[in-house]
Chain A
Amino acid sequence: METLGFLMDGFAVALTPYNLMFALFGAFVGTLIGCLPGLGPANGVAILIPLAFTLGLPPETAMILLTSVYAGAMYGGRISSILLNIPGDEPAMMTCLDGYPMAQKGRAADALAISAIASFAGGLIGTIGLIMLAPVLARFALSFGPAEYFALFLLAFATLGGITGKNPMKTVIAATLGIMISTVGIDISTGTQRYTFGVLELYEGIDFILAIVGLFAISELLFFVESRMGGGRKKMNVGKLTLTFKELVSTVPTQLRGGVLGFISGVLPGAGASLGSFISYTLEKSVIGKKGRFGEGDIRGVVAPEAGNNGASSGALVPMLTLGVPGSGTTAVLLAMLISLNITPGPLMFTQNADIVWGVIAALLIGNVLLLVLNIPLVGFFVRLLSVPPMYLLPIVTMVAFVGIYSISNSAFDLYFMVAFGVAGYFLRKLEIPVVPIILGLLLGPEMEKNLGHALVLSDGDWSILWESTLAKSFWLVAALSLVLPYVVGPVLRRRMNAAMKESPTSD
């Protein structure tokens, strides 16, 4: 009941015309960014952070804008998957499998419509899960001491390996790079300067927003420059909407299963939306069995992954809002935004910043409704935007990033750093080293170090404090399992995933 009251307050925040306008703008821009191949939710949010600062938005409005962009990008990703067989972002990959065949059969409009509805269902299920579970998790979070936090961050690093890349060693390299970058600056636990070389600009360390914009957005630009192709090679007949109500109803169980599974994988730190859409798709396939025509344009093959990845996007907000641990790359960016707004993400956000948290949750619900309304009629428009040549798209994205970053700090030094990160990101991605672990290392490394130090101060140097409590012990156990399991389960999953890709005749 208390929760409902908070949620009503949240609606009061989110439904003010000012905030509603930004939610609508965010949903629109998010969909746009999502459907542009290569630009995913993390990039979308990273690109808009500087805008939020430039406009001097109050914290709740800034967060509403960014969560709308986040939700919008999750919707948008499916458009290019279905029409071009190019996933707009990673989680939308699974939507290609049945979405594109549907489009080839002239059912593109149906595929776009049903996937919008599935995205809505997934988002709704995820948000309801967030509302029900988050306050429980928040109360539980107060029992976290330095030792528990240390074990939790260890867990986050351990789960990273199995999921983000094919080669765990490269993930480790990336995370290590992130941790190394994070050591620059004055160490708050000792007051000692590390790697500052007497340069004043380095005293506070390297701002992770620079790293995020550089590694995601600028390296993406470099890739665009290199390949000089940004989609828009084929135009597809969108076709007429022939979706029947009966067909829609028949997908309801699929939507529910996809949404719930997506939410669960979203809640687990390090898992995220790609896993959500993958698991939803594979489960749906095994549940329906031979009755379905998966890979040939089965409508449930579009519904399952879309419900899954949108459920996951809400689920990923649970660890971020209650524990301060990002569940995905995008929430890592959102977390950085919160810190920049002087809001401590963590156990007390629900008590100390209730207006912001519930405003964001309400915005998520409203955003999902807006997105559903927005997506169906605007499908034709989004298709045309896919054909914007990179030569126009590029300068706009670069300009937004540069102006934004400069307006935050008034420092040319930051711009050089951002470009350096962009170039580094380009080469790292060429080497197939994932960039998400770098951000996580940069964000979580100092926290892990700090909590280790604090735990040892509290115990007077006794290391056993790190695994003394039951909570800490269970984190260590899960961390150990996540390190070992990928080697056992990973190959099995990957084989199935490959099999799924092969079965689809149009996947390449």
Chain B
Amino acid sequence: MTLKRSLSFIAAAAFSLNAMAWQPSGKVECIAPSDPGGGWDFTCRSAGNVMRDLGLVEGTVQTINMAGAGGGVAYAHTVSKRAEDDKLIVAASTATTTRLAQKQFPGLDADMVTWVGALGADYGVIAVGKDSQYENLNQLLDAIKQNPKSVKFAGGSARGGWDHLKVLITAKAAGADKLPAIPYLSYNNGGEAMTQVVGGQVDAFTGDISEVTGFLSSGDLRVLAVLADERLPGEFADIPTAKEQGVDAVGPNWRGFYMPQGASSESKAFWVEAVDTLYASEQWKKVMKANGLIPFHPPADEFDSFVKQQVQDIENLSREIGLLK
């Protein structure tokens, strides 16, 4: 028994030694599947900078913007053209899993890449204008349960997108039926959607916590619930979670990376380790704080199953509301 354990320990040590021995030489690329300026672009650029500062990579991490199909162009590119590239990581988030779940990348699924790790998350919120009649999440949900059309939501994603799904996850957790009947108005981004809620045109806002900071501090918006397991740190500590109000709904919009499936196991081990080191660093904590990201980092061996579970959950929900047949 002891012998077996120590043998496996030696094997593991040898493996990890081996893993650490591999280091990318030359140019490393990070694909941001969007135009410059968005969340994925931010993930690549800021993570790339910190990786270079920490000495994880020799040179710089070059960010390549590859917009199209909400990440689909980059996903197809990784799967078909870069399938064995050891020096490539691609930025991803819950938007990626949502589209995978809803089969919006034709012929592609979540098993075709290797999920490396998460670097933090932006948690979902349900909010109303300051003059709204709804004081807490349950009042709002009771109204929906009585008449699904009574509360109109505005959000920054397309119909069926992540902002819409957060409403459905919450309503479902509260036991509401007729989910497809809940009115959802999609805007180009969260800011535009919030304008409508602050101006009193639409009843409620669904989005991420980082989007509401401005209107939260100005007092124009009342956040009824944050869709996290526990209360968020710092300035958000006053906001109740959905869970403590008796509604078991969680909606993390994580940010992280995937890489080509066919890359060598040494390089995969290297990148997992690199993301762990990056996440633990002081520099990254500063980046997270400055950009409204909340700690979220499933252990390396659980991240892959977390992603696949999320894809499965979203798929089930999308089927239920008739977005997917």
Contacts and interface: CB of A to CB of B under 8 A. Distances in A.
A411 B66 contact: yes
Contacts of A341: 37
B38 to A, nearest CB: 6
Contacts of B216: none
Interface in B257-301: none
Contacts of B201: 144-146, 458
Interface string A334-376: 0000011110101110011000000000000000000000000
A137 to B, nearest CB: 14
Contacts of B106: 198, 200
B23 interface: no
Contacts of B218: 351
B67 A188 contact: no
Contacts of A223: none
Nearest to A413: B68
A454 B199 CA distance: 15
A3 interface: no
A470 interface: no
Given A142-B198, A189-B186, A410-B65, A344 B191 contact: yes
B54 interface: no
Contacts of B70: 186, 203-204
Contacts of A348: 191, 194-195
A190 interface: yes
A53 interface: yes
B189 A204 contact: no
B69 interface: yes
Contacts of B138: none
Contact of A344 (B72, B183, B186, B189): B189
B191 A352 contact: yes
B95 interface: no
A393 interface: no
B105 interface: yes
Interface in B157-206: 157-161, 183, 185-189, 191-192, 194-196, 198-199, 201-202
B91 to A, nearest CB: 14
B186 A56 contact: no
A201 interface: yes
A409 interface: yes
B38 A203 contact: no
Contact of B36 (A56, A458, A460): A56
A169 interface: no
B64 interface: yes
A199 to B, nearest CB: 9
Interface residues of A, number: 38
Contact of B68 (A53, A342, A409, A458): A409
A344 B36 contact: no
Given A189-B186, A344-B188, A344-B191, A410 B152 contact: no
B13 interface: no
Instruction: Name, among B37, B152, B159, B218, the residue most crowded by chain A CB atoms within 10 Å (CB to CB).
Output: B37
B230 interface: no
B65 to A, nearest CB: 6
A203 B69 contact: yes
A342 B105 contact: no
A408 interface: yes
A436 B99 CA distance: 35
Contacts of B189: 342, 344
Interface string A125-151: 000000000000000001111100000
Nearest to B75: A200
B158 A200 contact: no
A201 B186 contact: no
A341 B192 CA distance: 15
B192 A410 contact: no
A191 interface: yes
A339 B67 CA distance: 14
Contact of B195 (A339, A347, A457, A458): A347
Contact of A458 (B73, B152, B214): B152
Nearest to A201: B68
B130 interface: no
Given A142-B199, A198-B106, A200-B105, A408 B35 contact: yes
Interface string A24-53: 000000000000000000000000000001
A341 B36 CA distance: 7
A139 B222 CA distance: 20
Contact of A409 (B38, B66, B152): B66
Contacts of A410: 64-66
Given A188-B159, A458-B201, A200 B185 contact: no
B112 interface: no
A283 to B, nearest CB: 38
B104 interface: yes
B19 interface: no
Given A203-B70, A457-B185, A145 B35 contact: no
B149 interface: yes
A187 B188 CA distance: 11
B323 interface: yes
B83 interface: no
A453 B158 CA distance: 13
Contacts of A454: 185
Which 8 A-B pairs have CB atoms at the shortest separation, nearest pair first?
A: A203-B69, A145-B201, A188-B158, A191-B160, A344-B191, A191-B159, A342-B37, A200-B69
7 contacts: A145-B196, A188-B158, A189-B159, A200-B106, A203-B70, A344-B189, A408-B65
Given A189-B185, A458-B183, 7 more contacts: A59-B37, A344-B192, A347-B199, A352-B214, A411-B66, A411-B68, A458-B201
Interface of A: 53, 56, 59, 142-146, 186-191, 198, 200-201, 203-204, 339-342, 344, 346-348, 351-352, 408-411, 450, 454, 457-458, 460
